[in-house]
């Protein structure tokens, strides 16, 4: 029997969702967010890929992704996917302490995304999620405040875990070439960048790096570049900039191309996106 609890703060500073049912899979496509996501797999098994790093996750594990961090999930066919997740914008907790997110932000993309269930239990993170679930399922005038305090506790405890545990038993793997490709894209996606530039920089055959990147991340290099540009455009729009003035900052050669790509990956125009998220 499917059970869903969903609570969204009025200004979209956080979303809490508790859901059980069959997986939407077999794959939840590669995507990234403008917020921090903390997802616990309560029941089931899956493969969780973050920036080319693959994690085998099972019941009780917690997954962390930062803003702009690409990730996707692969499930066994027709599997039960019982999970809860909390998504927060930085402003939701940074108002309490401007440095509260420093440790999470220092974590390199595609590293230490998985908190094993034994560490989750050791630090009593389940109590935090129970509190969030309670106030989300039974909203009162105090719900948003209480959830913000639980979110702050979660961030503080995760920072402690990253500092003390180092997740030394993590079973992730990453091809060093993938990381080099991603780093080069990160440094150059705002200019006219293509696969030939990357192949020349790495002294590798472009067909080889195309196949390698697709097999490790599930994305073509051109799609990855465009998704990174769209994410930058989202952030600029949320900061109040005009769509007509940002396309070149994000690496697009003209507004028409920018508009087409933005709508392809968000299902809305830049203006619609800005209006929808104007309260964030």
Quick one: tokens of 71?
Answer: 């990730």
CATH number of the domain at 176-276, out of 1.10.10.10, 3.40.190.10, 1.10.10.60, 3.40.50.300? 1.10.10.60
Answer yes or no: is pLDDT of 157 > 90.
Answer: yes
Q: What is the DSSP string of 135-168?
A: HHHS--TTHHHHHHHHHHHHHHHHHHHHHHTTTT
Quick one: tokens of 263?
Answer: 């709508």
**Chain centre to alpha carbon of residue 3:** 24
What percentage of the chain exceeds 70 in pLDDT?
86
User: What are the domain boundaries of the chain?
Assistant: 3-164, 176-276
Contact 65, 37 (CB under 8 A): yes
Asked if the domains 3-164 and 176-276 are classified in one and the same CATH topology, the answer is no
Quick one: tokens of 108?
Answer: 């390199």
Torsional sign, CA 13, 231, 223, 196: negative
- Structure confidence at residue 190 as a pLDDT band (50, 70, 90): very high
pLDDT the model gives residue 27:
57
CA distance 109 to 69: 6
Contact 87, 15 (CB under 8 A): yes
If you compute the radius of gyration of the chain from its CA atoms, what whole number of angstroms results?
19
CA distance 276 to 280: 9
- Structure confidence at residue 7 as a pLDDT band (50, 70, 90): low
The CATH number of domain 3-164 is 2.60.120.280: yes
């Amino acid at each position: 029997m499917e059970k869903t609890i969903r609570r969204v703060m009025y200004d979209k500073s956080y979303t809490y969702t508790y859901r059980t049912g069959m997986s939407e899979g077999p794959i939840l496509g590669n995507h990234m967010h403008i917020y921090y996501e903390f997802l616990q797999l309560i029941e089931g098994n899956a493969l969780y890929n973050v920036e080319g790093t693959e994690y085998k996750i099972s019941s009780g594990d917690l997954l962390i992704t930062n803003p702009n961090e690409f990730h996707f999930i692969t499930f066994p066919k027709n599997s039960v996917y019982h999970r809860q997740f909390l998504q927060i914008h930085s402003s939701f907790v940074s108002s309490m302490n401007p440095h509260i997110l420093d440790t999470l932000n220092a974590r390199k993309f595609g590293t230490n995304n998985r908190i094993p269930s034994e560490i989750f239990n050791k630090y009593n993170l389940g109590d935090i999620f129970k509190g969030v679930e309670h106030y989300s399922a039974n909203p009162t005038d105090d719900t948003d405040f209480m959830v913000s305090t639980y979110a702050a506790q979660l961030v503080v405890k995760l920072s402690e875990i990253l500092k003390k545990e180092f997740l030394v038993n993590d079973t992730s793997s990453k091809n060093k070439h993938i990381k080099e490709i991603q780093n080069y894209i990160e440094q150059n996606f705002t200019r006219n960048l293509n696969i030939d530039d990357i192949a020349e920089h790495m002294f590798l055959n472009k067909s080889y790096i195309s196949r390698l990147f697709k097999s490790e991340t599930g994305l073509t290099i051109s799609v990855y570049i465009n998704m990174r540009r769209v994410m930058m455009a989202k952030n600029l729009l949320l900061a109040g900039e005009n769509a007509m003035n940002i396309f070149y900052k994000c690496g697009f050669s003209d507004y028409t191309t920018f508009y087409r790509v933005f709508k392809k990956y968000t299902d809305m125009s830049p203006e619609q996106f800005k209006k929808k998220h104007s309260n964030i």
